[in-house]
Amino acid sequence: MHEKTVQQHAEALKKGEYSSVELTTHYLDRIKQHESLNAFITTTESQALEQAERADKRIQSGDATTLTGIPIAQKDIFCTKGVLTTCGSKILEGFISPYDATVITKINDQGMVMLGKTNMDEFAMGSSNETSFYGPVQNPWDTGKVPGGSSGGSASAVAARLAPVASATDTGGSIRQPAAFCGLTGIKPSYGRVSRYGMIAFASSLDQAGIITRNAEDAALMLQAMSGFDARDSTSLDLEVPDYMATLEDSIAGKTIGLPKEFFGDGVDSAVADAIQLAIRELEALGAKTVEVELPNSEVGIPCYYVLAPAEASSNLSRFDGVRYGFRAGEYDDLNDMYEQTRAEGFGEEVQRRIMIGTYVLSSGYYDAYYIKAQKLRRMISDDFTRAFQKCDLIAGPTTPGTAFPLADKNDDPVAMYLNDIFTNSVNLAGLPGISVGAGLDEAGLPIGLHLIGKYLDESTILNVAHQYQKVTDWHLKAPGGFA
Amino acid sequence: MQWETVIGLEIHVQLQTKSKIFSGASTAYGAAPNTQACEVSIALPGVLPVMNTEAARLAVKFGLAIGAEINQRSVFARKNYFYPDLPKGYQISQFEIPIVGKGEVEIEMDGKRRKIGVTRAHLEEDAGKSLHENFDKETGIDLNRAGTPLLEIVSEPDMRSAEEAVAYLRKIHSIVRYLGISDGNMQEGSFRCDANVSVRPVGQSEFGTRAELKNINSFRFVEKAIRIEVDRQIDLLEDGGEVVQETRLYDSDKNETRSMRSKEEAHDYRYFPDPDLPPMILDDAFIADVKQSLPELPHERKERFIDSFSLGVQESDQLTQDKALADFFEEVNTTSAAGPRIACNWILGELSASLNNEDLEITQSKISAPQMATLLDRIHDKTISGKLAKEVFAAMWQGEGDADSVIEKRGLKQITDSGEIEAIVDQVLADASDQVQQYKDGNQKVIGFFVGQIMKISQGKANPQQVNEILRKKLD
Amino acid sequence: MSITSDQITHIARLARLKTDPEKSEYYAAQLTRIMNLVEQMNQIDIGDTEPMSHPQDAGLRLRADAVTAEDQREDFQSIAPNAKDGLYLVPKVIE
Question: Up-side HSE of residue A398: CA atoms within 13 Å toward CB?
Answer: 30
| pLDDT-derived band at B264, boundaries 50, 70, 90 | very low
Q: Is A106 a known active-site residue?
A: no
C72 has pLDDT over 90: yes
Judged by CB atoms closer than 8 Å, whether chains meet at C95 and B24 is answered as no
In a domain, A139, yes or no: yes
Q: Measured between CA atoms, how close is C57 to chain B, in angstroms? A: 8
Evaluate if residue C95 carries a pLDDT over 70: no
Contacts of A355 in chain C (CB under 8 A): 15, 17
Residues B397-423 have a mean pLDDT of 85
Count CB-CB contacts under 10 A for residue B317. Answer: 17
pLDDT score recorded for residue B456: 85
Say if CB B157 and CB B30 are below 8 A apart.
Answer: no
Q: Among the options A19, A20, A150, A167, which is catalytic?
A: A150
Nearest to A371 among B90, B272, B277 (CB): B272
Q: Is A290 contained in some domain? A: no
How many angstroms from the chain centroid is the CA of residue B68? 22
Within-domain flag for A194: yes
pLDDT higher for A2 or B412? A2
According to the model, what pLDDT value does residue B377 have? Answer: 93
SS3 B220: helix
Q: How confident is the model at residue A8 (pLDDT cuts 50, 70, 90)?
A: very high
Q: Given a cut of 70, is residue C5 above it in pLDDT? A: yes
* A225-248: pLDDT as tens digits: 999 999 999 999 999 999 999 999
CA distance B418 to A317: 90
Helix ranges (DSSP H) in B181-293: 219-238, 284-292
Q: Confirm whether C9 is domain-assigned.
A: yes
Q: Is residue C35 part of a domain?
A: yes
Tell me how crowded residue A344 is: count the other CB atoms within 10 A of its CB: 18
Choice among A19, A20, A75, A154 that is catalytic: A75
State which residue of chain B sits closest to A192, comparing Cα positions: B276
B362 pLDDT above the threshold of 80: yes
Q: How far C8 CA sits from the closest chain A CA (Å)?
A: 8
d(C-alpha A286, C-alpha B190), whole Å? 68
Q: Judge whether residue B299 has pLDDT over 90.
A: no
* Residue C58: inside a domain: no
Residues C19 and C12 sit within 8 Å (Cβ to Cβ): yes
What integer is the mean pLDDT of A411-415?
Answer: 82
Nearest to C14 among B41, B268, B275 (CB): B268
| Helix, coil or strand: residue B256 | strand
What pLDDT score does B431 carry? 86
Catalytic annotation present for A363: no
pLDDT at B414 over 90: no
Bridge-partner residues for C43, per DSSP?
none
E-strand spans in A71-196? 71-75, 113-118, 166-170, 185-188
- Mean pLDDT to the nearest integer, A194-220: 98
- Nearest partner of A304 among C40, B313, B405, judged by Cα: C40
CA A406 to chain centroid: 20
Residue of A nearest to B277 (CA): A234
In A214-353 the beta strands, taken as DSSP E runs, fall at 256-260, 289-293
Which residue among C56, C66, C70 places its CB closest to the CB of B18?
C66
Mean pLDDT, residues B357-385 taken together = 91
Asked whether the predicted pLDDT for residue A212 surpasses 90, the reply is yes
Is the pLDDT at A316 greater than 50? The verdict is yes
B23-71 per-position pLDDT tens digit: 999 999 999 999 999 999 999 999 999 999 999 999 999 999 999 999 9
Q: Which ipTM score applies to this complex?
A: 0.97
State whether residue A416 sits within 8 Å of chain B by CB. no
In this prediction, residue B338 has a pLDDT band, given cuts at 50, 70 and 90, of very high
* pLDDT computed for residue B384 by the predictor: 85
Whether residue A325 is predicted with pLDDT greater than 60 in this model: the reply is yes
d(CA B43, CA B40): 5
List of E strands, A287-420: 289-293, 394-398
Q: Report how far residue B166's alpha carbon sits from residue B189's, in angstroms, rounded to the nearest whole number.
A: 17
| CATH (domain of A36) | 3.90.1300.10
Give the model's confidence band at B427: pLDDT under 50 very low, under 70 low, under 90 confident, else very high. Answer: confident
Spatial strand order in the sheet of B103-109: B103-109, B112-125, B149-155, B3-14, B191-201, B211-216, B246-251, B256-259
Q: What is the pTM of this model?
A: 0.89
Give how far A360 is from chain C: nearest CA, Å: 6
- The confidence score (pLDDT) of residue A183 equals 98
Q: What is the mean pLDDT of residues A302-328?
A: 98
Of C58, C65, C86, Cβ closest to residue B54: C65
Q: Does A311 reside within a domain?
A: no
Q: What domain count does chain C have?
A: 1
Task: Indicate which residue of A89, A127, A154, A174 is catalytic.
Answer: A174
* Contact assessment for residue A150 and residue A126, using Cβ atoms and an 8 Å cutoff: yes
Average pLDDT over residues B221-250: 93
**C66 falls within a domain:** no
Residues A73-93 pLDDT 10s: 999 999 999 999 999 999 999
Assess if residue A439 is contained within a domain: yes
The answer to whether the Cβ–Cβ distance between B39 and C56 falls below 8 Å is: no
What domain range is A99 assigned to?
6-257+390-477
How would you write B75-138 as a 3-class SS string? CEEEEECCCCCCCCCEEEEECCCCCECCEEEEEEECCEEEEEEEEEEEEEECCCEEECCCCCCE
Cα–Cα distance between A453 and A440 in angstroms, integer?
19
Q: A203 and B275: CB-CB below 8 Å?
A: yes
The answer to whether residue B10 neighbours chain C at the CB level (below 8 Å) is no
Q: What is the mean pLDDT of residues B243-259?
A: 89
The better pLDDT of the pair A177, B416 is held by A177
Is the pLDDT confidence value at C94 over 90?
no
Give the pLDDT mean for A102-111: 98
Q: What is the distance in angstroms between the Cα of B30 and the nearest Cα belonging to chain A?
A: 21
On whether the CB atoms of residues B47 and A234 are closer than 8 A, the answer is no
Higher pLDDT, B456 or B138: B138
Please give the pLDDT value at position A419.
87
Integer angstrom CA distances of residue B155 from A148, A180, B82, B164: 54, 57, 27, 12
pLDDT greater than 90 at residue A351: yes
* Domain assignment of residue C50, yes or no: no
Catalytic residue status for A150: yes
Which residues are CB-contacts of A3 (< 8 A; sequence separation ≥ 6)?
A161, A479, A484
* pLDDT surpasses 60 at B265: no
Taking residues B224-241, report their average pLDDT: 94
Q: In the predicted model, what is the mean pLDDT of residues A47-60?
A: 97
In what order do the strands lie in the sheet containing C83-84?
A: B129-131, B138-142, C87-91, C83-84
Let me know if residue C57 belongs to a domain: no
Asked whether A264 and A254 are in contact (CB, 8 A), the reply is: no
**CA distance linking residue B216 with residue A329, whole number of Å:** 36
Give Cα A219 to chain centroid, integer Å.
12
Query: Residue C1 has what pLDDT?
Result: 79
Inside any domain, residue C74 = no
Task: Indicate whether A349 belongs to any domain.
Answer: no
Domain count, chain A: 1
> How do residues A267-313 score in pLDDT, each as one tens digit?
899 999 999 999 999 999 999 999 999 999 988 999 999 999 999 99
Specify the 3-state DSSP secondary structure of B196: strand
Cβ contact A318–B80 (<8 Å): yes
* Host domain of residue C14: 5-42
For residue B262, is pLDDT > 60?
no
Tell if the CB–CB gap between B46 and A371 is shorter than 8 Å: no
pLDDT in the model for residue B421? 85
Q: What share of chain B is helix, strand, coil (3-state, %, to 5)?
A: 40, 20, 40
**Averaged pLDDT score across all residues of chain B:** 92
Instruction: Report the C-alpha gap between A90 and A88 in whole angstroms.
Output: 7
B154: number of Cβ within 10 Å: 18
Q: d(Cα A221, Cα A219) in Å, to the nearest integer?
A: 5
